[in-house]
């Protein structure tokens, strides 16, 4: 399925809303990237996108990227160093399992939203929101890439 057709406009808004809500409780930054194809390893690709989106430049290195290749049915979760070293091994895999479980039922929006919740709760625990100096460092809009190859 092409990345642009993966979610309805309304579903897209629901996800952006979930990110907004999550980021009100944490200094961390969550982003979603959807693209058509992923030839190689989904985690390698996510690491590249993470960099391309400037996600490695957040102050506390606490950005989390949820990456989905819609046509090739691949997904991965990539996190900045600041958060990665704080979470237990297996956490990212748990997040990925939420996506996979829902995607199998074709519940794309629900899967992403629940994954955002899980990541958001962890970010809140590790990087609580500070009233002063906490910025929305990265857009909450879904990032798309309609690559054809
Ligand atoms: Ca922030
Ligand atoms: Ca943000």
**What are the respective helix, strand and coil percentages of the chain, to the nearest 5?**
45, 15, 35
Neighbours of ion ligand 1 (CB under 5 A): 27
User: How many CA atoms lie less than 13 Å away from 102 in the CB half-sphere?
Assistant: 15
Cα(71) to centroid of ligand 1, in Å?
Answer: 31
Q: Where exactly are the structural domains of the chain?
A: 3-145
- Phi, psi (5° rounding) for residue 46? -60, -40
Does residue 132 carry a pLDDT above 80? Answer: no
Closest to 33 measured CA to CA, from 148, 139, 149: 139
Rounded mean pLDDT of 69-86?
96
pLDDT band with cut points at 50, 70 and 90 for residue 122: very high
- Predicted confidence at residue 142, as pLDDT, reads 96
For residue 126, how far is its CA from the centre of ligand 1 (angstroms)?
13
Give the pLDDT band (50/70/90) at residue 130.
confident
How does residue 147 score in pLDDT terms, banded at 50, 70 and 90? low
Return the beta strands (E) in 28-139 as ranges: 29-35, 63-69, 74-79
Q: What is the pLDDT of residue 59?
A: 93
**pTM of the predicted protein model:** 0.95
In this structure, the chain runs to a length of: 149
CA of 128 to the centre of ligand 2 (A): 14
- Assess whether pLDDT exceeds 50 at residue 149: no
pLDDT surpasses 60 at 58: yes
In CATH, which of 3.10.310.50, 3.90.45.10, 3.30.450.70, 3.40.50.11540 is domain 3-145?
3.10.310.50
Rounded to an integer, what distance in angstroms lies between the CA atom of residue 113 and that of residue 119?
A: 10
Percentage of the residues of the chain whose pLDDT score is greater than 70: 97
DSSP state of 103: H
């Amino acid at each position: 399925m092409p990345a642009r057709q993966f979610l309805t406009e309304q579903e897209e808004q629901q996800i952006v809303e979930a990110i907004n809500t999550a980021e009100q409780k944490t200094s961390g930054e969550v982003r979603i990237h959807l693209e058509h194809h992923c030839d190689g390893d989904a985690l390698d690709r996510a690491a590249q996108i993470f960099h391309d989106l400037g996600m490695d430049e957040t102050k506390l290195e606490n950005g989390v990227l949820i990456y989905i290749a819609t046509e090739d049915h691949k997904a991965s979760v990539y996190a900045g160093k600041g958060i990665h070293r704080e979470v237990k091994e297996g956490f990212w895999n748990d997040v990925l399992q939420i996506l996979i479980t829902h995607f199998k039922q074709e519940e794309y929006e629900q899967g992403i939203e629940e994954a955002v919740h899980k990541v958001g709760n962890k970010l809140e625990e590790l990087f609580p929101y500070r009233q002063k100096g906490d910025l929305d460092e990265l857009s909450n809009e879904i990032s798309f890439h309609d690559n054809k190859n």
